Structure 1
Amino acid sequence: MKYISTRGQGGAKSFQEVLLAGLAEDGGLYVPAELPRFDQDKIRSLRGLPYNELAFEVIQPFVAGEIPDAKLKGMIDDSYTTFAHEAVAPLTQLKSHQWIMELFHGPTLAFKDFALQLLGRLLDYTLTERGERAVVLGATSGDTGSAAIEGCRHSDAMDIFILHPYQRVSEFQRRQMTTVLDSSVNNIAVQGNFDDCQAMVKQCFADQSFLPESSGKKPRLVAVNSINWARIMAQVVYYFHAALELGGPDRAVSFSVPTGNFGDIFAGYIARGMGLPVDKLIVATNRNDILHRFFQSNDYRKQGLEHTLSPSMDIMVSSNFERLLFDLQDRDGNALAEQMATFEETGKLSVSEQRWQKVRELFDSSRTDNQDTCDAIKVIFDRTGYLADPHTVTAIRALEEVATDRRTPNVVLATAHPVKFPQAIEQAGLDAPKRPHHLKDLLDREERYEVLPNDLNAVKRFIQNHLT
């Protein structure tokens, strides 16, 4: 399996090169040169497999030849033994044709655990094999940070630096990161928004000269955000899991996905490209609705950021959207590079009417504001007894707005446990859920984090001064 940049430069790369690089040298994102294809008989043969065994079957073609199968299988097995539910991603039925796939039974109670538990092990294996050290650098709008820390903290080969927007994540989310006091873990609260944090991460990857040498070697900067292909790869698995549980591949399934950065739903697009019958992919957003505006009116432009009750989606620009644009440009990296340069200059882009109509055949979208979020949490709980977090509820509500075939199973991706967002639950007029046993004392634990100005040089100096 070889990988190429969406912006067309740098040539084909191996899986391990892409794993360690994160962002391509030309500023693009890595994607497979060709997707592995599963025919219907192959998909049918995967029915009934435990989640870890299904994950190996789906992931192995992306890694083949670079990590021995036995090692890869061991890493996958270890990753999902950390989950609290034996099914790993259980399905709960809400209506005759509507299911919730709960992706919050991992150690940090968010869907990011599916990818980051595995990513940490893949990085540790690869760095150890190469005798290298890495600086893990990521930006988080809420859940990626704690999942990355939990996935990478046990490796002696990595220092971890996570940027989050100061006072713009929930207290629960912040404390999941800042109460990990390992010497290799560093949390930075940036006095800006998530897009500011993400922009600084990208700038650090573009110019890594600020990293000092140690013992004659320079550490490698490694991405844990969903710009890292391995994140997408791991998330593809649960689309296969849900479809197989609901009759796939002999009937198609539709998915409604709360997403700001487009990575989680792009994994569904990849699953479809691999041969999984997917009828619709529905993008659910909050007031920060750049994706919704594109899918409804071919208008992808930056607007001011709003602070909402679903903070993990408080994003102005969706990093992974570039991967879809690459396909819409017929995988022409030069054309995509020009388009992204125009977007950087003007803050807006659109595609041809023909291409937009083509993408609309698969994708639809919905937007939910704060009041509708609270109303929907209450209505769904009163109607079904199911308590959904403020991100998941945008995807449930999207199914009320977007027409789908009622004979097609609709799966909502529940991306976080409601305990992480007590403010939204209480504003909906409900009691905040109790914290799981392993996090019962979270709000009493000692915290450690640094508040820094929205300044790239300040962040670089902090990293330089805190390498172990």
Structure 2
Amino acid sequence: MYQSTRDSGVAVSSAQAITQGISADGGLFVPQSIPELTNEEIKALLPLSYVERAKAVLAKFLTDFTKEELDACVSGAYAPGKFDDESVAPLAEIAPGVYMLELWHGPTCAFKDMALQMLPFLLTTASRKTVGDKTIVILVATSGDTGKAALEGFKDVDGTKILVFYPQDGVSPMQKLQMTTQEGGNVGVCAIKGNFDDAQTGVKAIFTDEAVAKKLKQHGMLFSSANSINWGRLAPQIVYYISAYCDLVKEGKVTLGDPINIVVPTGNFGNILAAYYAKSMGLPVAKLICASNSNNVLTDFLKTGVYDRNRPFFTTVSPSMDILISSNLERLLYDLSGRDDKKIRGYMESLAKTGRYEVDDAIKAKLNALFCAGFCDDTATKETIGETFQSRGYLCDTHTAVALHVYEQYVADTGDKTPTVIASTASPFKFSASVLDAVAKEDVTGMDEFSKVAELSRCTKLEAPQALASLKDKAVRFEDVCTKDTMERVVLSMLGIS
């Protein structure tokens, strides 16, 4: 059963949690208890494929799904041909004991595919159990990658509609093209004047608006979410950290039971929260290293216990991390507070009213024991891309470079040489202008996006993913722009509701 972070008295099944997306009180759903993963169970996973490991791990969290239902969801998500690497999430060793967990081999070339190829299967299965034949309306705020991955996952899925909002000037040209050219009869895309936090705040407000929910109900519709506020998005992300550990043990890189560190570039705190849940299950993880760009609200919080979004917002070369309100942090705080819903409500009310809150000393101590944190600016990001390619022959994108730079800072500060997995979150070709500038120092002024992709491919001798190259010939379908205040009107209009 699943509780709300803002009302521990809520108790819903995993199917209900996935269908709703967010609790009616504005809280996020979390399991009442974290299932255990023993060393013997990890050992049993070693010879299995990624698909079989995913079935085993998710079965612990989605206990109201039958074995046949779960088999269909996982096998559908990772069907042959959907990912361009048969191992789905391969590891690349870039230095002794340092491994890139490549999470971008799916159809949109970003880590969001790992969960968003599965969420449509989970959601349609869950909705059949809970709401029957109602149309599920997926409402998404995106800082770049979630939007395209969700659109691709839900494209023409029966019984669903999906509407995506993205910051007008806060995504890369390739990310924008991926969304605005999206095919499918049940999809809608709109830019918003503002940043990701504006889009996310607007989406949350619409979600919890009773008047809007009533209008949808009259038309046989209800909202759900594809953002990582939805447990169905977060649960599949736990799998790849467990699978990566299995691969390291299987290949003799670590001994079963020995710890690893995990480094994650994060903005909304979902990807690193999945690593925290894997650790909570029993995966041998020593330190969780949280990497931020210049929007370093998480770095400051993990070091001081003070969350303060009252600061300048930076538009960076790692746009998917340009976030100052990290929604999934609420789930972590609920866990670390001993599931004190009153305390969490207080923190979230303070954040909404004043833009800040400070956790108590007990939570600060737990944060310090679990996490290390660091950040890097655009200059250091590009330097890391260039140096890593020149010295190691490995090309990484702007978000992965943030994680690598923060990891190198961590090692310099601590001397810790524990085997480390770094979450590599996107193909470098999604951010070709910045990556090209980093590795070739070329003037790209006047070059269109696809010329930059071609030049990056030429100078690195790496092939651009076909999923990106094929966008060149696609027509733009969505050009609308709205404000935070007009998002509700846009949603109803897209759904044909007056």
Same fold (TM over 0.5): yes
Change (3 A) 1:350 1:154: same
In 1, the alpha carbon distance for the partners of 2:22 and 2:96 equals 42
What is the letter of the counterpart of residue 397 of structure 2?
A: D
Query: Is the 8 Å Cα contact of residues 108 and 467 (structure 2) preserved in structure 1?
Result: no
Question: Of 396, 408, 429, which residue of structure 2 is paired with 1:419?
Answer: 429
| 1:336 maps onto 2:344 in alignment | yes
CA-CA distance at 1:212 after TM superposition: 7.1
SS at match of 1:317: coil
SS at match of 1:92: strand
Q: Quote the RMSD (CA, aligned, Å).
A: 1.7
Match of 1:50 in 2: 49
| 1:436 maps onto 2:465 in alignment | yes
Query: Is the 8 Å Cα contact of residues 216 and 222 (structure 2) preserved in structure 1?
Result: no
1:229-268 equivalent positions in 2, closer than 5 A: 229-247=231-249, 249-268=256-275
What percent of counterpart residues are identical? 37
Change (3 A) 1:10 1:439: same
Greater mean alpha carbon deviation, residues 322-331 or residues 135-144: 322-331
Match of 1:124 in 2: 124
Match of 2:399 in 1: 391
In 1, the alpha carbon distance for the partners of 2:300 and 2:84 equals 37
In 2, the alpha carbon distance for the partners of 1:154 and 1:466 equals 15
Match of 1:101 in 2: 101
CA-CA distance at 1:295 after TM superposition: 1.5
Change (3 A) 1:288 1:275: same
SS at match of 1:304: coil
Match of 1:162 in 2: 164
| 1:228 maps onto 2:197 in alignment | no
In 1, the alpha carbon distance for the partners of 2:16 and 2:481 equals 32
In 1, the alpha carbon distance for the partners of 2:471 and 2:305 equals 43
1:110-189 equivalent positions in 2, closer than 5 A: 110-128=110-128, 130-189=132-191
| 1:282 maps onto 2:310 in alignment | no
Question: Of 373, 380, 383, which residue of structure 2 is paired with 1:365?
Answer: 373
Query: Is the 8 Å Cα contact of residues 109 and 416 (structure 1) preserved in structure 2?
Result: yes
CA-CA distance at 1:213 after TM superposition: 5.3
Match of 1:89 in 2: 89
Query: Is the 8 Å Cα contact of residues 23 and 223 (structure 1) preserved in structure 2?
Result: yes
SS at match of 2:70: helix
Question: Of 315, 327, 340, which residue of structure 1 is paired with 2:335?
Answer: 327
In 2, the alpha carbon distance for the partners of 1:448 and 1:438 equals 18
Match of 1:20 in 2: 19
What is the letter of the counterpart of residue 120 of structure 1?
A: P
Which ranges of structure 2 fall in alignment gaps of 5 or more residues?
250-254, 441-454, 458-462
In 1, the alpha carbon distance for the partners of 2:316 and 2:494 equals 33
SS at match of 1:342: helix
Greater mean alpha carbon deviation, residues 212-221 or residues 360-369: 212-221
CA-CA distance at 1:360 after TM superposition: 1.1
Change (3 A) 1:406 1:215: closer
Which ranges of structure 1 fall in alignment gaps of 5 or more residues?
none
Query: Is the 8 Å Cα contact of residues 198 and 484 (structure 2) preserved in structure 1?
Result: no
Greater mean alpha carbon deviation, residues 122-131 or residues 299-308: 122-131
CA-CA distance at 1:22 after TM superposition: 1.1
In 2, the alpha carbon distance for the partners of 1:399 and 1:181 equals 39
In 2, the alpha carbon distance for the partners of 1:143 and 1:376 equals 22
SS at match of 1:199: helix
Cα deviation code 1:94-119 (max 9, x no counterpart): 11110101000011001101111110
| 1:453 maps onto 2:477 in alignment | no
Query: Is the 8 Å Cα contact of residues 51 and 88 (structure 1) preserved in structure 2?
Result: yes
Cα deviation code 1:168-207 (max 9, x no counterpart): 1011111111111322110010011100000010001111
Query: Is the 8 Å Cα contact of residues 127 and 133 (structure 1) preserved in structure 2?
Result: no
In 2, the alpha carbon distance for the partners of 1:169 and 1:407 equals 35
CA-CA distance at 1:208 after TM superposition: 4.5
CA-CA distance at 1:354 after TM superposition: 3.5
In 2, the alpha carbon distance for the partners of 1:165 and 1:214 equals 25
Query: Is the 8 Å Cα contact of residues 128 and 157 (structure 1) preserved in structure 2?
Result: no
SS at match of 1:26: coil
Query: Is the 8 Å Cα contact of residues 249 and 276 (structure 1) preserved in structure 2?
Result: no
Query: Is the 8 Å Cα contact of residues 190 and 479 (structure 2) preserved in structure 1?
Result: yes
In 2, the alpha carbon distance for the partners of 1:76 and 1:401 equals 37
Runs of 4+ in structure 1 over 6 Å off: none
SS at match of 1:24: coil
In 1, the alpha carbon distance for the partners of 2:325 and 2:40 equals 39
Cα deviation code 1:259-294 (max 9, x no counterpart): 000000000100011111101110011000110001
Match of 1:464 in 2: 492
SS at match of 1:221: strand
Match of 1:304 in 2: 312
In 2, the alpha carbon distance for the partners of 1:159 and 1:450 equals 18
In 1, the alpha carbon distance for the partners of 2:47 and 2:73 equals 21
Query: Is the 8 Å Cα contact of residues 22 and 225 (structure 2) preserved in structure 1?
Result: yes
In 2, the alpha carbon distance for the partners of 1:212 and 1:144 equals 27
Match of 2:448 in 1: none
